[in-house]
Amino acid sequence: DTGVSQDPRHKITKRGQNVTFRCDPISEHNRLYWYRQTLGQGPEFLTYFQNEAQLEKSRLLSDRFSAERPKGSFSTLEIQRTEQGDSAMYLCASVGGTDTQYFGPGTRLTVL
Amino acid sequence: GNSVTQMEGPVTLSEEAFLTINCTYTATGYPSLFWYVQYPGEGLQLLLKATKADDKGSNKGFEATYRKETTSFHLEKGSVQVSDSAVYFCALTLSGYSTLTFGKGTMLLVSP
């Protein structure tokens, strides 16, 4: 069990550019969640996968956001045409046989 | 809807002082309750959890008891250390397949 990993840890981009983040869950965890955390706030749910199926999406997930989990292993979160309001920490969590979510270290996005 | 309310921080204590961070919740159904801790620049780490009424979660000297009658899950520690300085998040989930709902977090600052 190597824990949840995320890449990159930090990303600085210019407004209007596209960015993609990757999450590798704990091996054999079939559920994977993405959250967004802004400064001084708790994480807010974005989307959730069970295996390769995306089962739930938050209203926060505008059409500029897309997430995938091919083959039910790692997941990617892409943001197109980034805006300054997208600046946040993007957190990934995975769940196995219990209801406990294990979080990765996060990707901090700064949009200039 | 579901919500979590935490006491506002920062909570400032001297080393070896007693800690209480209040958390109350509103939920449709019977949630599982969690405390997560976040150190500067890092993701969230599970601190403790309780899955049913009157359960007590404990870890690293921290404790919290699931109180259904007062819809509370207050975090306590008898003697804090400087290394406990972090942001603490209370959270709930209604089932193993639903998302976590977080409070806004409470910053704890412990001075020597």
Residues of chain A with pLDDT under 50: none
Q: Is the CB of B43 less than 8 angstroms away from the CB of A106?
A: yes
Query: Which chain A residue's Cα is nearest to B95?
Result: A99
Between CA B14 and CA B35 the distance in angstroms is: 22
Find chain A residues with C-beta within 8 A of B100's C-beta.
33, 35, 43, 45, 93, 101
pLDDT of residue B96: 56
A21, A56, A100: which to substitute to probe chain B, counting the most B Cβ within 10 Å?
A100
SS3 at position A32: strand
Residue B62 binned pLDDT confidence (cut-offs 50, 70, 90): very high
pLDDT of residue A1: 53
Given a cut of 70, whether residue B22 has pLDDT beyond it is: yes
pLDDT of residue B76: 98
Alpha-carbon gap: A36 to the closest alpha carbon of chain B (Å): 11
Mean pLDDT throughout B22-34? 92
Percent of residues, chain B, with pLDDT higher than 90: 83
Find chain B residues with C-beta within 8 A of A44's C-beta.
102
- B74-102: pLDDT as tens digits: 999 999 999 999 999 999 998 756 789 99
Spell out a b/e string for B41-62, using b for 16 or more CB atoms within 10 Å of the CB, else e: ebbbebbbbbbeeeeebeeeeb
Q: Across all residues in chain B, what is the average pLDDT? A: 93
- B3-16: pLDDT as tens digits: 999 998 899 999 99
**Alpha-carbon radius of gyration of chain B:** 13
Q: φ, ψ for residue A70 (rounded to 5)?
A: -65, 135
